[in-house]
Structure 1
Amino acid sequence: MSDTHAQSVAYVRDTAIPQSPAPANASGPVKWMRDNLFATWANALLTVAAIYVVYLILSNTLPWIFGGLWNTASLAECREVLQGKSAACFSVLTDRWDQLIFGYSYPAEYYWRPTVAFLIMFVAIAPVLFFDLPRKLLIVTALFPFIAYWLIWGGTIWTPIFALLGVVVGYMVYARLVTGSFAKGFFGGIAAALVVWFIAGYIVPAIAPQEPLLASVPSRDLGGFMLNLMLGLTCVSLSLPIGIALALGRQSSMPLIKWICVIFIEFIRGVPLITLLFVASVMLAYFFPPESTVDLFLRVVIMITMFSSAYIAEVVRGGLAALPKGQYEAADSLGLDYAQAMRLIILPQALKISIPGIVNIAVGLFKDTTLVSVISMFDLVGMIRGPILASTEWNGVYWELLGFAAALFFVVCYGISQYSQWLERRLATDHR
């Protein structure tokens, strides 16, 4: 009886059955290809056609690249070594790399100075781009513009010191007056900084040593990809706060402020950048005192910054308009004044919405720095079109030089794009 009863009890497993792997056509690369490349007959035909086109391009391009020469002295020697074969002559890059990076006239013995400034730049922008880093690194960020100026241009160290002093005094005045009125603090800080810089204009020449620690390099000797990086970083850094101020000014309830911002934005956006660069090269000097010699680099920075600020202002204005009206009402209900509401509630949300547009303008601005070659500033493209292709050794080398320039710009612009996507995911801009 007990045996019969024991045999009728169902068997209960005390361990789980090992999980079987999914079928090959339901996971892994095979599934991905079925879902993305061969989901339908039309997709399959397009995939095969695209693969064939890529094959045609790579089958002709890769042998040309990997068969290239790197150690010849001229294009004629390249052709002599190749003996009619189709291959790249990358020797122009090894022969003229210094001109492509630093320009034609920048002294070779001072190449270490912009190189050091370039390395410090990564430390300076790191706490701005990645806000999880220690806030103490912002000290390097604040000092970087003055250190980079002294390293690249050289001259007396008192010039960047007094420039920094003017910024510090201006900020102290702003912090003291902004509690009463934002406009009073803003304009008071600017006035204080200008006073310090005006006084420094008389003090620095008197105390500057005859032989400075770093030899002076004029701006006309700057060039190559270094010039593109300097213009791009400087103009983007300046145009962002100016664009935010223009966007806020365009929404101001004060008619005078509003219409000044509207006229500025619409006028700048209606004029091509190349026209503004010609104005910077020819006409802008007439707006300064006759005895002053305004550097061409500074004039170009002013015009490019004005151009990009107008576009950034419209992007930020779109972000401000996208915010619900309740956000403004919530700031008012908390008893915040205008400056506090914008700093704590409105602008953080509006800037998160505006990230894609701002990055798009930054990428376009960096590529537009190549336009300075039309006003005789030898940036990377200017060096290729001018001294390098004009030389007898490399006259006729186009694809190698332009491909090198495209690769450099692609690396920078792609890095900016990837950072913006990471920042959007980090801030979750699609969920407010």
Structure 2
Amino acid sequence: MLKPLSCAAILFAAALPASAVEWTPVVNASLSGGQYFFKSQRGSLSGNATLTAAGLAKLNERWSLLPMYSASYRGTKGIDDGVGAGTLFQQQMDHAVSVTGIRKLEGTTWRMKPSAGYKREFLKETRDEAWGHGLFDYEKISAGMTFENIYKEPFSWQAGLDVFRIRFPSYESLESRSGVDPTGSPLGRELASKHTLDTYNWQASVSGSRPWPFDDPKVVLSGSYSLLYKDFLDQRIVEADGQFVDSGRRDFLQSLGGSVGRPIPLNLFQSEQRLDLSMGLNFSYNRSNQNSFDATFARFISDSYSYWTVGAGPGATLSWGDKKAPTWTSASFRWTRQNYLGRLVQDEVGAYGSAKQAHDRYTFSVGYGYPIAPKLTMTFRTNILWAASNHKYQKNYSYAYRAMNYLLGVSYEF
């Protein structure tokens, strides 16, 4: 899949006279090292690296082409890792390519953006695990169309439709055939199929940003809404007796988000600074037709995968010095609450109660950046997470804990 995308971009550009193509390259890279802490334990020192390489090719007055390649390696765990939060060791690597066409619609401020992409992500949960055989390795093939109206630079409205497939090639061989999860506990019946996590996905989305007041902006208002339909290829519905029916799992995920941003110019200590304040709010609701059957306790849970999530939090960034390469410091706080509509709580020994599961997460992050050379910035970031839950059974996964990481490194922008 990598080669067709790359070749299509090359052939498209090659069909035009060389003098007609204007090329603008962009390269961003970062390298950092740090540690991950979970409860009273700490992981070993490890490193992270990212690379993004793109180029905007202006083919003519109407058409431009944007090919992009991105890669990342993460040896220091992030605090938001949903899988295996209690493990100190985890390595993740991904590679992605995409091609986006940009066509200006004559006589308007609208642009049409067809796109296609491919992503491959690898995840190692243990040191002796080989790359390419991880339980949650996946590939994503995508295509989409977006219409964008830049009505007042840089503010715009966007509407898009995307289709993509996600496939987990190793999930069957490592888990589904054994009938147990990585801890040795019996699988829920809904997770015992061959390709239970593979999905076809269709997503419609709209988003926009607007200055307010329009003629003399003081704040920036942003909003977005998306509707995602997920069709699970090989996950049949579980009934109360633990047996399957012929129909498969279908999820509808709706997401709504909004933010307010305010830039404030300052003049302290006889120098100019800029303070950027923001406040964000998001809400999502997932409606699923899947139930669950707990094989360990022989318990049927109806509507196990439907939930709603709400989150909110402020952020602030103070920058000073060279406007193109400023020194900066930032801080943010985020609260998230997730409530399941059917999933029941359990006590410390696994006995089920009547209340529904609720999970709270509080995240605090700080960062600092200092330019040490042209286009090169030294960075420091630390993130702290507090997780709380009314679900007390934590034999397989941790729901209430504290985690932290820090990263010290450099970033390069060209």
Shorter-chain TM-score bucket reads under 0.3
Q: Normalised by the size of structure 2, how large is the TM-score?
A: 0.25
* Higher strand proportion (structure 1 or 2): 2
* Higher helix proportion (structure 1 or 2): 1
- Structure with max Cα Rg: 1
